[in-house]
């Protein structure tokens, strides 16, 4: 989920596109942005793609480097282990092991786990509860290392879900309010005249957008690009006439149909897509994996109490699938260990006839995964997170800063760090505004 282009390079998001690795690609024209990457089992992993070039950028933790220490305004900057005896220490969510001689032995990022001084990264601490599908879990500190143990099994047929705050099952009520806490904008609306074929249910990987075909037997793949249409020397995906933080004309977008992936079973309006570099996952009566140029396999089927998965999303921080459908405003959570589905949370009416949008996007600044939901209109997008102490909470409710939003038949996230949706006849892009706080990396400096 990286900001797009500054200078001669294009940095393309690749998250649920939530949390997928970024790809960087040189362009010949700094005034336009387009970086292509056609993108098994229970934990999706990016792979290698035919006919495309997508390099994964991965950071690597290293020990303290030898060199001078710096005195800034009388404060001496020390290396992490310079003044510490041997042991494991916590620093901003990282577990740092010191050798006692001033050197760093190892650095472990504990997200999504917890750093505990003296022990390092642990899954949980005493007194914590956790929700996993239909199961209520409690931290077992008698285990070494501490881990989760099941203490109660909820009955989703009775409307029960896990309460992560109390550590018990309860009949779920709609969570959160209906008063907007922020705004977002619409940036593009592609129709047949722009090269969009009829379809719905959307996801993207980088600048590639995948849409379920109207005939129910294929998925169309598009590439979207953006240009410096106001000629100010910068690509500005969030620029909008009504955006007080980035006011100006909307930069020109162009949609190009690249190919059609055949032999993919989709149900129009009820087969959301989750895209990776070398495969896609498609909802319906199951979540099915389709490898590009290869075989397909069923990851999980919908339980008896759910007729089908119309929308799907994946939390790639914790490795958890989420799903929903139009029957009620309910979000389902998958427990991979038991292969069972449970109720995660319910949300209030968002001014649409029914629910028709779900996506999971990781905040690039905090590493927190958020579940976003929408009704069949794009007037509101609800933002939810699973708090380690309070259970599910509504973080925000974003309102469309316009008069009337377009209909939603599935919602994805990706290109330009924006959300994308289709209504059968059009493919459109929304985002920016207050949503930027959770989808855009904070610029360095």
- Residue by residue, DSSP assigns 240-294 as BTT-TTSBSPPPPEEEEEEEEEES----TTS--EEE-SSEEEE-BSEEEEEETTS
pLDDT tier at 190 (50, 70, 90 boundaries)?
A: very high
DSSP 3-state of 156: helix
pLDDT tier at 229 (50, 70, 90 boundaries)?
A: very high
Domain residue spans of the chain: 85-122, 129-171, 182-439
For the segment 363-382, the average pLDDT, to the nearest whole number, is 93
DSSP 3-state of 191: coil
Cα(340)–Cα(323) distance, rounded to whole angstroms? 12
Residue 365 Cα distances to 47, 208, 299, angstroms: 25, 24, 31
List the CATH code of the domain at 182-439.
Answer: 2.120.10
Give residue 388's pLDDT.
Answer: 85
DSSP 3-state of 92: coil
- pTM of the model as a whole: 0.80
Give residue 159's pLDDT.
Answer: 96
For the segment 297-307, the average pLDDT, to the nearest whole number, is 94
pLDDT tier at 2 (50, 70, 90 boundaries)?
A: very low
Cα(284)–Cα(170) distance, rounded to whole angstroms? 28
For the segment 178-197, the average pLDDT, to the nearest whole number, is 95
Cα(379)–Cα(370) distance, rounded to whole angstroms? 19
- Is the predicted pLDDT of residue 42 greater than 60, yes or no? no
Higher pLDDT, 308 or 72: 308
**pLDDT, the chain, mean:** 83
- Is the predicted pLDDT of residue 280 greater than 90, yes or no? yes
Higher pLDDT, 422 or 402: 422
- Is the predicted pLDDT of residue 27 greater than 80, yes or no? no
Higher pLDDT, 33 or 272: 272
Q: What is the DSSP letter of 438?
A: H
């Amino acid at each position: 989920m990286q900001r797009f282009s500054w200078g001669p390079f294009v940095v393309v998001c690749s998250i649920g596109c939530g949390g997928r690795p970024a790809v960087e690609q040189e362009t010949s024209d700094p005034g336009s942005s387009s970086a292509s990457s056609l993108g098994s089992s229970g934990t999706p992993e990016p792979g290698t793609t035919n006919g495309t070039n997508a390099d994964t950028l991965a950071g690597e933790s290293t020990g303290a480097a030898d060199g001078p220490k710096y005195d800034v305004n009388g404060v001496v900057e020390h290396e992490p282990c310079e003044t510490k005896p041997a042991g494991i220490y916590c620093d901003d969510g990282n577990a740092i092991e010191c050798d006692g001689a001033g050197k760093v032995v190892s650095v472990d990022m504990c997200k999504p786990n917890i750093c505990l001084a003296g022990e390092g990264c642990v899954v949980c601490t005493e007194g914590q509860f956790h929700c996993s599908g239909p199961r209520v879990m409690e931290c077992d500190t008698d285990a070494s290392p501490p881990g989760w143990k099941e203490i109660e099994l909820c009955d989703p047929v009775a409307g029960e879900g896990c309460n992560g705050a109390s550590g018990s099952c309860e009949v779920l009520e709609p969570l959160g309010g209906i008063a907007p806490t922020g705004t977002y904008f619409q940036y593009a609306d592609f129709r047949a005249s722009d090269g969009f074929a009829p379809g719905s249910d959307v996801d993207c990987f980088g600048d590639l957008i995948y849409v379920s075909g109207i005939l129910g037997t294929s998925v169309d793949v598009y590439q979207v690009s953006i240009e410096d249409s106001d000629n100010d020397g910068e690509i500005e995906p969030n620029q909008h006439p009504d955006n007080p933080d980035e006011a100006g004309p909307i930069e020109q977008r162009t949609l190009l149909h690249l190919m059609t992936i055949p032999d993919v079973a989709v149900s129009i309006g009820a087969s959301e897509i989750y895209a990776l570099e070398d495969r896609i996952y498609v909802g319906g009566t199951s979540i099915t994996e389709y490898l590009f140029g290869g075989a397909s396999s069923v990851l999980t089927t919908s339980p008896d109490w759910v007729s089908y998965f119309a929308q799907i999303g994946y939390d790639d921080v914790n490795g958890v699938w989420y799903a929903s459908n139009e029957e009620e405003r309910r979000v389902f959570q998958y427990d991979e260990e038991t292969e069972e589905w449970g109720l995660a949370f319910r949300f209030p009416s968002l001014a649409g006839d029914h629910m028709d949008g779900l996506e999971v996007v990781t905040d690039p600044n905090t590493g927190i995964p958020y579940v976003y939901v929408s009704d069949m209109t794009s007037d509101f997008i609800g933002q939810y997170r699973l708090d380690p102490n309070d259970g599910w909470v509504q973080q925000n409710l974003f309102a469309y800063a316009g008069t009337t939003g377009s209909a939603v038949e599935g919602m994805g996230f990706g290109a330009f760090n924006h959300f994308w949706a289709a209504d059968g006849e059009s493919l459109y892009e929304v985002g920016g505004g207050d949503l930027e706080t959770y989808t855009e990396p904070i610029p360095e400096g």
